[in-house]
């Protein structure tokens, strides 16, 4: 069965430090992979997506993610975190644009 695992429920990072959020997936074929961010009281915003091609994808707000087929991972990274990055982050996997399966999310706190 398809599934998405985000091993870290909560992460705290100092402002200016680098960030890596982990995502592992289980999917039969080459999946479509997404990262979304949800600020408190807001809807979900698409950060980036991977379908094929270059395994390192760039997104909005300075985020990037790397697809590693051998590890079934799609980790999200940012070189320098800003206080405004504090939010909940969701990894999702799917086939086409219909049934997206979401991980349970990682809450990012940013300390000063």
Partner 1 sequence: EAQVTQNPRYLITVTGKKLTVTCSQNMNHEYMSWYRQDPGLGLRQIYYSMNVEVTDKGDVPEGYKVSRKEKRNFPLILESPSPNQTSLYFCASSSRDRYGYTFGSGTRLTVV
Judged by the rule CB under 8 A, the positions of this chain that interact with partner 1 are 32, 34, 36, 42-46, 49, 51, 90, 94, 96-105
Least distance in angstroms from the C-beta of 31 to partner 1: 11
Please give the full DSSP string across 29-59, using - where no structure is assigned: SPPEEEEEEE-TT--EEEEEEE-SS-SEEE-
Least distance in angstroms from the C-beta of 21 to partner 1: 14
Q: How far apart are CA 106 and CA 1, in angstroms?
A: 22
Query: 13 or 93, CB closer to partner 1?
Result: 93
Q: How far apart are CA 43 and CA 80, in angstroms?
A: 24
- Pull the structure tokens for residue 46: 């698409």
Least distance in angstroms from the C-beta of 96 to partner 1: 6
Query: 81 or 93, CB closer to partner 1?
Result: 93
């Amino acid at each position: 069965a398809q599934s998405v695992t985000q091993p870290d429920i909560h992460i705290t990072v100092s402002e200016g430090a680098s960030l890596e959020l982990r995502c592992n997936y289980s999917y039969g074929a080459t999946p479509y992979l997404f990262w979304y961010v949800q600020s408190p009281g807001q809807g979900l915003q698409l950060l980036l997506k991977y379908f094929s091609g270059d395994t390192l994808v760039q997104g909005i707000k300075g985020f990037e993610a790397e697809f590693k087929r051998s590890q079934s991972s799609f980790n999200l990274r940012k070189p320098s975190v800003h206080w405004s990055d504090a939010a909940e982050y969701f990894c999702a996997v799917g086939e086409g644009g219909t049934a997206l399966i979401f991980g349970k999310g990682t809450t990012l706190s940013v300390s000063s």
